[in-house]
Chains A and B, each alone.
Chain A
Amino acid sequence: MNSEILGVVASFLITLLIAVPLGKYLAKMFAGERVWTDFIKSLETGLFKLAGIRENESMDWKQFLKAMITINMLWLVYGFFVLIYQDKLPLNPDGNGGMTPDLAFNTIISFVVNCNLQHYSGESGVTYFTQHFILMFLHFTSAATGIAAGVAVFKAFRDKTTTDLGNFWNFFVKAITRLL
């Protein structure tokens, strides 16, 4: 019993020990100050160039939300169809079947919104292909979407009066490359 309590207390303390420095690092990183992970910068610049995004362009809150919702809807449509036709796609050693449309609808929304309510069972409902290219992909992106929105709110209160909430793409990509 005592060792159980000890285990819980230990996990709790370790969490705090990691979280505080991590928080400071995040603040610096999103503010664009110099941090130790700056070596990834060339990769990010490459990504932005590839996608034709000007990462330092400022957005007001409407543009910011528009960017966020557009990309999320895109994943929604893409994931929906891949889930339905997953039985015809590669990486399916166990021969799991495709999803019914209503299940695919639920699953894809659930993963896009960082919820992951699972009405299927991982072993039989999805294939390795969908686990990786839909579900794991969305694990990263949905978390990054949330973080980007959070940082936008931070940004709003950093300066005295501003319409600039920062750039969604910039926060979004950085959340993935520098954090997750």
Chain B
Amino acid sequence: MTFNGTPASYEGKDQFISLQGDTVNVSRGPAAQMITIKHLGTNGGGWFGANSAHPLENPNYVTNMVEIISQFIIPVAMIIAFGYFIRRKKLAWIIFGVMMIGVFMLMIPTISSELGGNPNIAKIGISQTTGAMEGKEVRFGPLATAYWSTLTTVTSTGSVNGMHDSTMPLTGAWQLLAMMINGFFGGCGVGILNYFIYLIIAVFISGLMVGRTPEFLGHKVEAREVKIAAFVTLISPFLIMAGTALAAFVFTTYGSANWAVKPSSWLNNPGYHGFSEMLYEMTSANANNGSGFEGLGDNNIFWNVSTGFVLILGRFLPIIGPVAVAGLLAKKKFIPESEGTLRTDTVTFGIMTLAVILVLNALSYFPALALGPLAEYFSMPK
């Protein structure tokens, strides 16, 4: 990173005369190390405000590739490690496959909607051969930004190399959905925990469907574990919806409250897009993602405190839940696999899990998505 021009010195602001003749203060600092770890650890908190769209934080295409690769390897590696650790490689590859399908289901529409360009600009008669460029960095192009935005939202990184606020409405919807699911690879270690919760629910549901005892890897799944799993899956929609609803309520009712940023001037874009901005902020907080739509004036007491609570609940409950379930399951007597066992390492079961994930999330989040990005999409000229 340092060799490609990311600063690593302790000096203060640098001054230079820009092309327009203005004097510009450029903030610097020992940023290179931080950027590497922010991606490896799927953290995403950048050194500079503009994150990896900042020229000093992500100077060229090579660093862009390095950053994008490093934010994805540990979540993928954790899945493989799972298989080798518990000596069931096939199960890990099935999980890997399901997650990959999930990622592609999010990534391909994102890329196509970004490359398609913005119909509003097309209407003015400007050709967009490179795709929708608003909010993108020319040195990466919309495709790399679309790829980045998918990966950063499926993992819990949340760094950005283009402004998500300016992406197309449908892209926004996929980004939101990726964070709501939060189980396709996910963050370092926690991604597989989220997926594990979905697995428990899938085991339970499919066990009921085929009339077999629900068991996972030789341990019976009983009411207590399912209750914990259900609670964890329900808490995310609750936090996101309640948070966004509260924000929307404050926005409309107490528009002139005397805070650092007045609620009525929170949103850069009123209407559907404004709703997406608030929804994105809450979702991002709950998924511990940390990317922002950035159209939102979020440094004030309401957003600081509310997302603070959403953050901490959205982090620790989904860790406590799976670890507790795993602890409870592990204590139970091991039942050797027999004819009557529902096998969890088959493709069929993988598809079942995928279906459970999609159905659960569609049921939980469709109304909110319909109000935000989808409404915006359908109100655009075709």
Determine the chain A residues whose CB is within 8 A of the CB of B48 once the complex forms.
121-123
Determine the chain B residues whose CB is within 8 A of the CB of A113 once the complex forms.
288, 311-312, 314-316
B38 within 8 A of A: yes
Q: Which of B202-210, B265-273, B331-339, B350-358 contacts A (4 or more CB under 8 A)?
A: B331-339
Determine the chain A residues whose CB is within 8 A of the CB of B240 once the complex forms.
none
A148 within 8 A of B: yes
CB contact under 8 A between A153 and B45, given known A117-B292, A120-B299: no
Determine the chain B residues whose CB is within 8 A of the CB of A111 once the complex forms.
43, 45
* Shortest Cβ distance from A106 into B: residue: B304
Q: Is the CB of A135 within 8 A of B45?
A: yes
Complex interface bits, B304-339 against A, C-beta within 8 A gives 1, otherwise 0? 110110011011100110111011111111100000
A177 within 8 A of B: no
Determine the chain A residues whose CB is within 8 A of the CB of B371 once the complex forms.
none
Set A143, A148, A153: member contacting B196, Cβ < 8 A: A153
> DSSP majority for the A interface?
helix
B246 within 8 A of A: no
* Shortest Cβ distance from B327 into A: residue: A61
B65 within 8 A of A: yes
Q: Is the CB of B327 within 8 A of A26?
A: no
Most buried by B among A23, A102, A113, A150: A150
B34 within 8 A of A: yes
CB contact under 8 A between A11 and B65, given known A94-B12, A149-B323: yes
Q: Is the CB of A114 within 8 A of B86?
A: no
The number of chain B residues with a CB under 8 A from chain A is 96
Complex interface bits, B38-51 against A, C-beta within 8 A gives 1, otherwise 0? 10111111111101
Determine the chain B residues whose CB is within 8 A of the CB of A49 once the complex forms.
none
Q: Is the CB of A19 within 8 A of B330?
A: no
* Shortest Cβ distance from B334 into A: residue: A160
Q: Is the CB of B40 within 8 A of A157?
A: no
CB contact under 8 A between A136 and B37, given known A94-B12, A106-B303, A109-B311: yes
Q: Is the CB of B38 within 8 A of A119?
A: no
Q: Is the CB of B319 within 8 A of A68?
A: yes
A158 within 8 A of B: yes
Bound-complex Cα distance A111 to B40 (A): 15
Q: Is the CB of B76 within 8 A of A15?
A: yes
Set B10, B34, B289: member contacting A136, Cβ < 8 A: B34
Interchain residue pairs with CB less than 8 A apart (5): A8-B144, A19-B72, A27-B81, A154-B81, A157-B326
Q: Which residues of A contact B (CB under 8 A)?
A: 1, 4-5, 7-8, 10-12, 14-16, 18-20, 22-24, 26-28, 30-31, 60-62, 64-65, 68-69, 72, 91, 93-94, 100, 102-103, 105-106, 109-125, 128, 131-132, 135-136, 138-140, 142-163, 165, 175, 179-180
Q: Which residues of B contact A (CB under 8 A)?
A: 10-13, 27, 29-30, 33-34, 37-38, 40-49, 51, 61, 65, 68-69, 72-74, 76-87, 129-130, 141, 143-144, 147, 156, 158, 187-190, 192-193, 196, 217-219, 260, 281, 284-285, 287-290, 292, 298-301, 303-305, 307-308, 311-312, 314-316, 319-320, 322-324, 326-334
Nearest 10 A-B pairs (CB), nearest first? A23-B80, A61-B327, A143-B41, A116-B45, A93-B12, A121-B49, A150-B189, A27-B84, A146-B189, A113-B315
